[in-house]
Structure 1
Amino acid sequence: MELILQDSGDSLIVSDDVFNHSFNESLVHQIITLYLSGSRQWSRAQKSKSEVSGSGKKPWRQKGTGRARVGSIRSPLWRSGGVTFAAKPKVYNKKVNRRMYRGALSSIFSQLIRQNRLLVFEDFSILYPKTKLLLKKLKILNLQETLIIKNYLDNNLFLASRNLYKVCTQDVKYINPVYLVSFKNIIITRLAIIKIEDLLLT
């Protein structure tokens, strides 16, 4: 398959197995769902009856006082007692087959190319870490919601884009399916394309 570089007009030959893959919607949905579930924080925690502070002694004897029977002052019925069904940290991570993950990425990249949402450049950079410079460059290309992927983290692009809504810069090593489907346009450099191809074919 041949991709045209937007800035130089040269062509780049890439593998059909990666960039001309049939779109598998169910696989992409499954991988994105698993990725999002794994990123859930779920750090809330409550104390159960056995974890709250307090004596384990029975407050009063079982019979003869006229009061309701009580076994512990840490009972959920009492003030400062434990929570009945205490929430605990959970882990939602699920194992993803490497072949499935690579197949999902290949499907996404292939679909981006078919929809003309993947723009390949020899290099994409700005001279200074200025948001105004990046906005000007994106305006020339008539792009708004854009993910910029390079083979390394460009500090100038990172600083210029971090305060922009729906504009993000990423190192090719940290790309993920959620970002790829979330942005309307993807700008990627030639070296990043080569790295992705090596990653998905090996």
Structure 2
Amino acid sequence: MKLLVQDIKSYISVSDNIFNQSFNLSLIHQVITAYLSGARSGNQSQKNKSEVSGSGKKPWRQKGTGRARVGSIRSPLWRSGGVTFAAKPRSYDQKVNKKMYRGALRSIFSTLIRQNRLIIFNNFTILQPKTKILLNELKKISLKEVYIIIEKINKNLFLASRNLYKVSVKDIKSIDPVSLINFKKILITVEAIKKIEEILK
């Protein structure tokens, strides 16, 4: 299939096997769920009954006091006692093999093309690391919210985009399925799309 390169008004050929796939909802959902789960820190830690500080002595005798029977001041029922089901550091990672991940990306990119959300440029860069310059360049092509994908990170472009909440600049090694879906428009260079085509074969 052929895709239009906006800045030079020319077409490039890309593989149908990569950029003309059907939308696989279940696969994309599984990959995105795994990606978001992997981003969770999982470092919460609480103390159970055996870990909180305090004596192991029985506070008062079992019978005859008129009060409820208690075996330890570290009981979860008491203030400053242990937590019943204490949270411990854990990993939320879910395994997604390469074939599934690549399949999901192929499906996402194909859908972006069908929805006219993928904008291809032969080259997209700025000469100075200034946010104002980047905004002016985006204004020329009527873009406010955009995910910019380039083959290698351009320092000026990266620094200029840091203060913009709705603009993100990534190289092909850093792209993620969540951002591809969430952003309204994806701007990608010809070099980047060719490299992605090689990776997703």
Q: 1:100 & 1:79 partners in 2: Cα distance?
A: 49
1:181 Cα deviation after fit:
0.5
In the other structure, the counterpart of 1:72 is 72
Any idea what the Cα deviations from partners look like across 1:123-152, whole Å, max 9, x if unmatched?
A: 100011111111111111011110000111
Equivalent in the alignment of 1:48: 48
2:75 is paired with a residue whose SS is: coil
Distance in structure 2 (CA, Å) of the matches to 1:3 and 1:79: 66
- Matched residue, 2:176: 176
Uncovered stretches (5+) of structure 2, i.e. residues with no partner: none
TM-score normalised by the chain length of structure 1 = 0.91
Q: Which residue of 1 aligns with 2:36?
A: 36
Q: Normalised by the size of structure 2, how large is the TM-score?
A: 0.92
> Percent same amino acid at aligned positions?
66
Question: How do 1:7-46 residues align onto structure 2 when only pairs under 5 Å count?
Answer: 7-46=7-46
Are positions 1:89 and 2:85 aligned together? no
CA distance in 1, matches of 2:84, 2:97: 38
Cα drift, residue 33 of structure 1: 1.9
User: What amino acid is aligned across from residue 161 of structure 2 in structure 1?
Assistant: S
Match of 1:148 in 2: 148
Relative to structure 2, which stretch is displaced further, 59-68 or 104-113? Answer: 59-68
Residue aligned with 1:174, SS = coil
- 1:53-108 alpha-carbon deviations (Å, 9 max, x no partner): 11223334434555443222211222221122323334321111321111110011
Q: Which moved more, 1:84-93 or 1:142-151?
A: 84-93
One-letter amino acid of the structure 2 residue matched with residue 55 of structure 1: S
Q: CA-to-partner distance for each residue in 1:140-176, whole Å, 9 max, x for gaps?
A: 1011110000111111111111111211101110111
Question: What CA distance in whole angstroms lies between the structure 2 residues aligned with 1:58 and 1:80?
Answer: 16
- SS in structure 1 of the partner of residue 200 of structure 2: helix
Once residues 43 and 16 of structure 1 are traced to their aligned partners in structure 2, the CA distance between those partners, rounded to angstroms, is 43
CA distance in 1, matches of 2:66, 2:11: 91
- Give me the whole-angstrom Cα distance separating, in 1, the residues matched to 2:22 and 2:83: 51
> How far apart are residue 184 of structure 1 and its match?
0.7
CA distance in structure 1 between the aligned counterparts of 2:7 and 2:132, rounded to whole angstroms: 20
**CA distance in 2 between partners of 1:182 and 1:11 (Å):** 26
Shift of the alpha carbon at 1:111? Answer: 1.1
The count of aligned residue pairs is 201
Supply the distance in 1 between the matched residues of 2:101 and 2:193 (Cα, whole angstroms). 17
In structure 1, runs of 5+ residues without a counterpart are none
